[in-house]
Amino acid sequence: MNAETIFPSLQTMAESNQWVYLWPQIALVVLGLGLLVLEMLLPRKRVGTLVPAVALAGFALIGVLVCTPLFPTLADSLTVFDGMLLSPLSPGIFLFFIASSFLTGYLSMVCLPRQVLPRTEYFAVLSFVTAAILVLIHANNFLMMFVALETVTIGLYVLVGYARGQMTTLEAALKYLLTGAMSSAMLLFGIVLLYGAGAIKGIADPLNYQSVLQLFKDAQLGAGDSLALCGVALTLCAVAFKLGAVPFHIWVPDVYQGALTPTTAFLAVSSKAAGFVVLLCMLMFSFDAQSLKELLIPLLSLLAALSILFGNLGALSQRNVKRLMGLSGVSHAGYLLLGVVAYLTLGHVSMLYAIAFYLLAYMLASYAVFGVMSHVATNIDDFQEMQDYRMLLEKCPFLGGVLCVGLGSLAGIPPCAGFIGKLLIFICAVQAQLYWLLGIGIFGVVVSIYYYFGWMRAAVYRPWRSSQDSSSGKIPMESAQPSPEVPSVWSRLVLGALAAAVLLLGLFQGSLVSDPANPRQVSSQTSVPQDN
Amino acid sequence: MVNDILFYLLSAVAVGAALALVCVRNPLTSAMCLLLTIVSAAGLFGLLDAWFLAIVQILVYAGAVVVLFLFVTMMVDTDDMPRIKVSWAGGVAAVISFLLVGTIFVSVIIHAGQSVPALPELGSNPENTLAFGQTVKSYGQLLFTKYMLAFQLTGVLLLMAMLGVIVLSKRMNAEGRVEPSAPKK
């Protein structure tokens, strides 16, 4: 082998491994390791309270530091690690995922002590998964993406099966494992086909996103040959599995029901959002890849339409609140896919902001609702029904209020952030002239109001009874329902902040819908550019 | 010429054994079929001059993974396995998936019609020595330069998998801590 030609190229590769740009991820891994060490060192009695507190403080500290100028920004080059990673996108995305993990950690502090479960490992796995998500969202290479995705997925297998003593949890863990393995296999198959299609044409580094996109741009390379298109379709299947979009939604209701409520929230928010960021990163430079668009726009439109319809119609008849959140999450994935289709059609940067804002609103509202769910739940929360929420507003006005704000935002009712999110997505759809998808989206919103408000009605109104009913002894049964435990000061603070943020973002979006701090943004100052 | 014959032979064995793996009813026979598939895939790697990959394939998959499968299946009583009935929907799904895989197959064959070598100029082009690992050394060079981050992340993955096994298999005491050793009653 020719040493003179190899070593310089190895050296440039090694020099592009700039670990300093990865400090948030490294800090999260160190936090996870530190928690494990802490468990060994601390006296047994202190572990249960101290380890979660240290974990939350760590998440908060990293989250704050990410917002400071310490955040790694790279002006001169688009990628680091020899093209394995995009240079960090924006502190907002980092903050989103770290905040989501913080909230998951907080909810698990509420939920874990109710059962006999190890505590430390939950937080350690959570911080490793968060680190992997932060690598995943700016992977620029299929190998890097696969390794990060596997790390996230294996961590989620552990978190889903955490309360293994219950039948529903075992069922959820097994179903998630099998469907997850299936989607990993499809992803690998897709990557192999893309690699093969690229390598045959002699593309250098055929695992790189941009190199792969060359396959679809360059007519000389046989733009849009069938092998590469098959690869794209299979890769899309795996991403759709992460998003929980129809037809890859089959795991969603069972897994959401069986997992611990904090894990369900993490699956609903972080895992889904990571899928969208990965999808957008792959498509970021695909504007002139005509043959790719010709395949993806109809496929993604179909996925979006099916997800919106199935998610909303399926949730209509659900009484179990965790399954309801799962199915409504499928429909939210559909709305977000609608935004992705619009972005793919027109390529306006403002559409990315619409998607990001929708994700933010979805995260805040979801955690508000899941937070109330973890407080209302008793020891085993897999069979929480809507009637468990009966008159929650009366029993505990705080939890009831937060629940109403969260559900209102998920349904898209005006003073909440969810309304603005849906509005922005629909404006994108109008700009991209996706009228039939828009129609399905609006139909979905109308349907969703039924089940969200059904839940809200259970929480707010006293069920109507005729005088015979009240004399025939149904009232005692209702009053026998356990009153939810009174939320602690910290819970009030966290849930109150979530509800306040939902309302505040609904009234005032500020620079969130067009972030001026992002250097990569093309000048589009308003979320609703009229220049179309 | 010999290479061609070997290629077709090994591919036929791999595909045939994979088919048998799914169709055979006895789980132990299935595991042995898996072994055969893996060994013939290793042979295919060898035909591509990827000797290291071939050896690793045999060491890790044939040596460790299949043996693990065998241990587990032998511990479970597999004599009275119920026959799985293929449902109507399952049959339709199988046909659809078969058609989809067939599409991929056809597209590969269309490619082959353009008469491009599967792995162009591997040995002769010095620039390709980095992209394609013929020797252990080139794997090491790439692993510790370009794929360093992925390598490190794999370490995190393994640690997490280990934690997961402990959490999911050990007994817990009332304080929610993993007990050092499971008490026998």
Domain locations in chain A?
A: 33-464+474-507
A331-376 pLDDT, tens per residue?
999 999 999 999 998 888 888 889 999 999 999 999 999 999 988 8
What number of C-beta contacts closer than 8 Å exist between A and B?
137
| 8 Å CB contact of B160 and A29 | no
CB contact under 8 A, A158 and B153: no
Coil/strand/helix, residue A453: helix
For residue B176, give Cα distances in angstroms to A46, A328, B170: 12, 33, 11
Nearest by CB to residue B164, choosing from A84, A125, A144, is: A125
Rounded alpha-carbon distances, angstroms, from residue A153 to A193, A275, B22, B159: 22, 11, 26, 14
Region A149-163: what's the mean pLDDT?
Answer: 93
Query: What's the token pair of residue A388?
Result: 């468990």
Question: Average pLDDT of A502-517?
Answer: 72
Contact criterion met (CB < 8 Å) for A112 and B173: no
Contact with chain B for residue A15, Cβ under 8 A: no
**A314, amino acid identity:** G
Q: Is the pLDDT of residue A172 over 70?
A: yes
Terminal CA-to-CA distance of chain B, rounded, Å? 66
d(C-alpha B123, C-alpha A165), whole Å? 56
Cβ–Cβ contact A108 with B under 8 A:
no
Q: Could you tell me the CA-to-CA distances from B97 to A299, A513, B90, B111, B116 in Å, in that order?
A: 17, 42, 10, 21, 28
In this model, does residue A227 exceed pLDDT 60? Answer: yes
State pLDDT tens for residues A267-286: 999 999 999 999 998 888 77
Inter-chain residue contact B153 with A161, CB threshold 8 Å: no
Residue A288: φ, ψ to 5°: -100, 10
Q: Considering only CB atoms, which chain A residues are within 8 Å of B172?
A: 116-118
Cβ within 8 Å, pair A5-B127: yes
Contacts for A108-111: CB closer than 8 Å, 24+ residues apart: A108/A52, A108/A260, A108/A262, A108/A263, A109/A52, A109/A56, A110/A262, A110/A371, A110/A374, A110/A375, A110/A491, A111/A260, A111/A261, A111/A262, A111/A374, A111/A377, A111/A381
Q: Hey, which residues 29-58 in chain A have their CB within 8 Å of chain B? A: 29, 36, 39, 44-45, 47-48
Facing B160 at nearest CB: one of A158, A202, A229: A158
Would the CB atoms of B167 and A112 count as touching at under 8 Å? no
**Inter-chain CB proximity A193 and B154 less than 8 Å:** no
Would you place residue A519 in the very low, low, confident or very high pLDDT band (cuts 50, 70, 90)?
very low
Residues B141, A205: C-beta atoms closer than 8 Å: no
Taking residues A99-117, what's their average pLDDT?
89
**B68, B52 in Cβ contact below 8 A?**
no
- Tokens 């580094």 found at: A205
pLDDT, tens only, A429-455:
999 999 999 999 999 999 999 999 989
Contacts of B161 in chain A (CB under 8 A): 154, 158
Q: What is the pLDDT of residue B130?
A: 45
Concatenating the DSSP letter of every residue in B88-148 gives HHHHHHHHHHHHHHHHHHHHHHHHHHT---SSTTTTT-TTHHHHS--SHHHHHHHHTTTTH
The answer, yes or no, to whether residue A476 has pLDDT greater than 60, is: no
* Residue B148 to residue A17, Cβ atoms within 8 A: yes
Residue B184 has pLDDT above 50, yes or no: no
Nearest to A118 among B120, B141, B172 (CB): B172
What pLDDT band is residue B141 in, cutting at 50, 70 and 90? confident
Q: Kindly tell me the burial class for residue B183, based on how many C-beta atoms sit within 10 Å of its own C-beta (0-12, 13-18, 19 or more).
A: exposed
CB contact under 8 A, B116 and A22: no
pLDDT above 50 for B152: yes
pLDDT in tens, B28-55: 888 899 999 999 999 998 887 778 888 9
CB-CB neighbors (< 8 A) of B120 in chain A: 199-200, 202
Test B146 with A29 for CB contact under 8 angstroms: no
Whether residues B145 and A193 touch (CB distance < 8 A) is answered with no
Q: Are A1 and B120 an interchain contact pair (Cβ–Cβ within 8 Å)?
A: no
Answer whether A135 touches B (CB < 8 Å): yes
In chain B the domains, ranked by start, together with CATH numbers, are 2-126 (1.20.120.1200)
Phi and psi for B104 in degrees, rounded to 5? Answer: -60, -45
Contact A158 B107 (CB under 8 A): no
Predicted confidence (pLDDT) at residue A133 exceeds the cutoff of 70: yes
Mean of the pLDDT values across residues A465-472? 55
- Put simply, the answer to whether A150 touches B149 (Cβ < 8 Å) is no
Best of A125, A250, A295 to disrupt the B interface (most B CBs within 10 Å) is A125
Reported as a pLDDT band with limits 50, 70 and 90, residue A303 is: very high
**No. of helices (H) and no. of strands (E), chain B:** 8, 0
Cβ-based contacts of B144 with chain A (< 8 Å): 14
Nearest by CB: A131 against B156, B163, B172: B156
Is A121 in the B-facing interface, judged by CB distances under 8 Å? yes
Question: CA of B119: which chain A residue's CA is closest?
Answer: A200
Could you tell me if A353 and A289 are in contact, meaning their C-beta atoms sit under 8 angstroms apart?
A: no
Nearest chain B residue to A127 by CA distance is: B160
Higher-confidence residue of A463 and A19: namely A19
Smallest CA–CA distance, residue A335 to chain B, in Å, is 28
Higher pLDDT, residue A77 or A423: A423
CB contacts of B103 in chain A (<8 Å) are: 226, 230
Under 8 Å between Cβ of A322 and A261:
yes
Mutate to test the interface with B, among A15, A50, A123, A151 (most CBs of B within 10 A): A151
Confidence at A326, pLDDT banded by 50, 70, 90? very high
Restricting to A residues 168-207, those with a Cβ less than 8 Å away from any Cβ of B are: 193, 197, 199-200, 202, 205
Q: What confidence score (pLDDT) does residue A283 get?
A: 86
